[in-house]
Amino acid sequence: MRPSPPEKQATHASQTRYLLAVAGLGGLLYGIDVGIIAGALPYLESSAAQLWKLSAQQLGFVVAAVLLGSVLSSLAAGALADAIGRKAGMLVAGLLFSASIPMIALADGYVPLLLGRLLQGVSGGLIGVIVPLYLAESLPAAVRGRGTALFQLLLTIGLVAAALIGLAVAQQVEAVAQTNPAGLPAMQDAAWRRIFWLSLAPGLLFCAGVLGLSESPRWLLGRGRREQALAALRRTRTHDDADAELAAISAAAGNDGAAGAAASAAAAADQGSLLQRRFVLPFLLACLILACNQATGMNSVLAYSVNILEQGGLAGSQANWGDVALKLANALVTVAAVVLVDRKGRRFLLMLGCGGIIASLCAAGALFLAMDNGKADVRAALAPLARNEALALDAPALRALAGSDAYQLEIAYSYGPLTQVRTLRPGQALNIAPPTDIDGDSALGAAFRAVHLNPFPDMSLAQGAPLVIERARLGAPPTAAQGWLLLACLLAFVSSFAVGPGVCVWLALSELMPNRIRSNGMSVALLLNQLVSTSIAAVFLPTVGQHGYAPMFFAWAGCTVVYFLAAAFLLPETRGKTLEEIGRYFEGRAGANAARTEHVATYPTGDAS
C-alpha cells in the first residue's frame, strides 16, 4: 500500500473535521429543538393562562409538538433521504428549522404556536434520522464511533445554549418584577418570544454549512454513480483505503463493480423487506433500544427541568441555574463518552449508564414522595368556599388555612375539558374564575373532529362548565436543601444518560441496521422513539398535576430496567467493525437460527441425538 503524502493526509483530516462540524451543527439544532422550551415554558404558561386561556393539557401539547413533529417526519425521513440524497435532506431540515422560529416567535394564539412547534419538530425528526445516517455512511470505521458521538455532544451543547438563553432572559424578567411589577405580564410575554428568536442563528449556519458537504458515498453508489462515490470517499480517506472500501460496499450490495448503472438498479430493487429473517433481529433490537431510550424520561426532564426544580424547592432563577447545570453536565460527560465509546465499547457504556439512571430516578422519586407525604388534602375545605363556580382566596386566607407562614398549595382544577394546574406560595392569592374566552383549536379542530381525526375535546365546552377541584394539597414547602438534593439526583441522572444511552443510541440506530434497510429501518425505529417521547411529554403536566412527580420518576426507572436487560443480553458489541461486518454478523445469526429450526423440525420429539 503506497503511503499518503503529508499534504493529502492534512486534506483528509480537514475534510473530516468539516464534515463533523457541519453534521455536529445538526446535533446542535436537535438539542435546541428539545431544550429551548424549558426556559420559555414558565413565561409561556403565564402568557397562555392570562392572554389565551390555555389548559395544562394544551401547554403539554405545545411542549410535545416538537416530538410529535418528529414522529410525523421520522417515518418519511428515510424515504426522503433515499429519494433526494442525504445532503439535500439535511438542507431541507435546516430550512424547516429556520422557518419555524419566526412562526413561533410571532404567534398570537394557540394554533400558530402549535403549528410552529410542529414544524420545528419535523425538522428535528429529519435531522435525527438523516444526520446519523450520513455520518455512518461517510466516516471511516476507525472514527465512526467518535463521529456519531459528536452528534450527541453538539446536541448537548445545544441544550446548554438553550439553558443559558433561558437563564439570561429569566434574570431580565426578575429585574422587571422587582422594579416594575405592573410591567411583568408584558415582559413575560416578550421573554419567551425572545428565547425563540435567539435560536434562529444556528439554523441558518447549518444550512450554509451543508452546501459545502459531499454526498454520502453509499447513496451515490446505490444510484450507480461510482466515480462520484469514489471521489466522496477520497475526500476523507487515502486512495488505497477508498478503493478498498468501495469494493467492500459494492460486494455487500451485490454489485461486482463492473456492471454499471444496470447492476446498481438491480441491487436497488433487491433492497429487501424489513421483515426478512436476516433483517428482523437487528431491526427489532434497534427499535427496542430506541423506545427504551425515550422511556428513561430524558426528554421530559430536559423540557420541564425548570418546573421540576421549582417544584422541588429551587425558586426563581435558582431553578434556571439548575437547568444550566444539568445541560452543562450533560455536555461535559458526553465529552468523556465520546472518548470512551471507541475504547470501552457500546455495550459496556449502555449498561453503566442504565444502572446510574435507575438509581438516580429512584432517588428523585423517593424525594418527591417524601415531600408529598407531608401535605394534606384540602379539597373538602376549599369546595364550600366556591361562589358562582369561582374561587378566590387572598394571601391571609391561605395562610390561615395552612396554619403557618410557610406553605405551598398545589391545586389542579377544571372547567369541563379545560384543566389547569397551579402552585401557590406565601404572598400569592388564589383566583379561579370561569373562562369567558377560550383560545383553543377552534375551526381547525372542529374540521378535524368532523372527520373523526381529532381525538382532543372541543375546548369551547369549558364555557359554562362547573368548577371541579381535582387535586388540592397544602403543606410545608420544600426547602432549598431538598431542592439542591433533587438537583444532585437529576445531575446523576443526566450524567448517566450521557455516558451511555445518550451517545450509544445514535450508534445503535445507524450501526445495527444492514445497508439494505438502513434508511427505512432507521425511520421506523426513530418513529417509535418519538412516539414514546411524545406520549410522555403530552401526559407529563396533567399527570403530575393529578398525582405528583413521584409516579413519573418510578415509571421511568422501571422502563430503564428493561433497557439494562436488553443491553446486557441482546446487544452485540459493534466497536471497530465496519457496517458490512456488522451486517454479516446478523445474517450469520439469522442463518444459525434457521438451521436450528430446520434441525428441530427433523426431530419432532426434540431429541436430536
DSSP of 555-605: HHHHHHHHHHHHHHHTPPP-TT--HHHHHHHHHHHHHHHHHHHHHHHHSTT
The x, y and z cell numbers of residue 192, run together, are 419567551
The x, y and z cell numbers of residue 511, run together, are 450501526
Q: How far apart are CA 27 and CA 30, in angstroms?
A: 5
Across 3-12, 178-187, 572-581, least confident range: 3-12
| Highest-pLDDT range among 273-277, 413-417, 504-508 | 413-417
297: left (phi over 0), alpha (psi -120 to 50) or beta: left
Q: How far apart are CA 286 and CA 507, in angstroms?
A: 10
Q: What single string gives the DSSP state of each residue in 481-545?
A: HHHHHHHHHHHHHHHHHIIIIIHHHHHHHHHSS-GGGHHHHHHHHHHHHHHHHHHHHHHHHHHHH
Say yes or no to pLDDT of 381 above 50: yes
pLDDT value for 445: 53
pLDDT value for 57: 67
Q: Which residue has the cell 388564589?
A: 430
pLDDT value for 607: 42
Say yes or no to pLDDT of 120 above 50: yes
pLDDT value for 357: 95
Mean pLDDT of 255-259: 42
CB 523 within 8 A of CB 77: yes
Mean pLDDT of 392-397: 86
pLDDT value for 270: 42
pLDDT value for 492: 95
pLDDT value for 157: 81
CB 297 within 8 A of CB 565: no
For the chain, how are helix, strand and coil distributed in percent, rounded to 5?
A: 75, 5, 20
Secondary structure class of 345 (helix, strand, coil) = coil
pLDDT value for 484: 92
Q: What is the pLDDT of residues 126-137, one digit of tens each?
A: 887 788 788 777
Q: How far apart are CA 357 and CA 501, in angstroms?
A: 10
Mean pLDDT of 14-23: 75
347 against 277, higher pLDDT? 347
Q: What is the pLDDT of residues 532-576, one digit of tens each?
A: 877 787 778 778 877 888 999 999 999 999 999 988 887 776 665
The x, y and z cell numbers of residue 40, run together, are 420559555
Q: What is the pLDDT of residues 445-464, one digit of tens each?
A: 555 555 554 455 666 777 78
Mean pLDDT of 428-447: 66
Say yes or no to pLDDT of 591 above 60: no
Point out which residues pair with 392 in neighbouring strands. Answer: 431
pLDDT value for 560: 94
Across 86-95, 447-456, 593-602, least confident range: 593-602
On the 0-12 / 13-18 / 19+ scale of CB atoms within 10 A, 455 is exposed
Q: What single string gives the DSSP state of each residue in 370-385?
A: HHHHTEEE-HHHHGGG
pLDDT value for 517: 62
User: 375-377 and 391-393 as β-strands: parallel, antiparallel, unpaired?
Assistant: unpaired
Mean pLDDT of 36-61: 70
Q: What is the pLDDT of residues 280-332, one digit of tens each?
A: 777 777 778 888 888 998 888 877 888 888 888 887 678 888 888 988 888 88
Say yes or no to pLDDT of 267 above 50: no
Please give the class, per CATH, of domain 8-213+278-372+482-569.
mainly alpha
518 against 164, higher pLDDT? 164
- Tell me what the pLDDT averaged over the chain comes to: 76
Split at pLDDT 50, 70, 90, the class of 257 is: very low
The x, y and z cell numbers of residue 449, run together, are 373532529
pLDDT value for 450: 58
Split at pLDDT 50, 70, 90, the class of 214 is: confident
Q: For the chain, what are the domain ranges?
A: 8-213+278-372+482-569, 214-269, 375-431+446-475
Q: How far apart are CA 126 and CA 488, in angstroms?
A: 34
Q: Which residue has the cell 455512518?
A: 136
Residues in the chain: 609
- Which strand (E) or helix (H) includes residue 471? strand 467-475
pLDDT value for 358: 96
For 518-552, letters b (16+ CB in 10 Å) and e give bbbbbbbbbbbbbbbbbbbbbbbbbbbbeebbbbb
CB 90 within 8 A of CB 130: yes
On the 0-12 / 13-18 / 19+ scale of CB atoms within 10 A, 602 is exposed
Mean pLDDT of 422-435: 80
The x, y and z cell numbers of residue 270, run together, are 433487491
How many other β-carbons are positioned within 10 Å of the β-carbon of residue 178? 9
408 against 89, higher pLDDT? 89
Within the chain, how many helices (H) and strands (E) appear? 24, 6
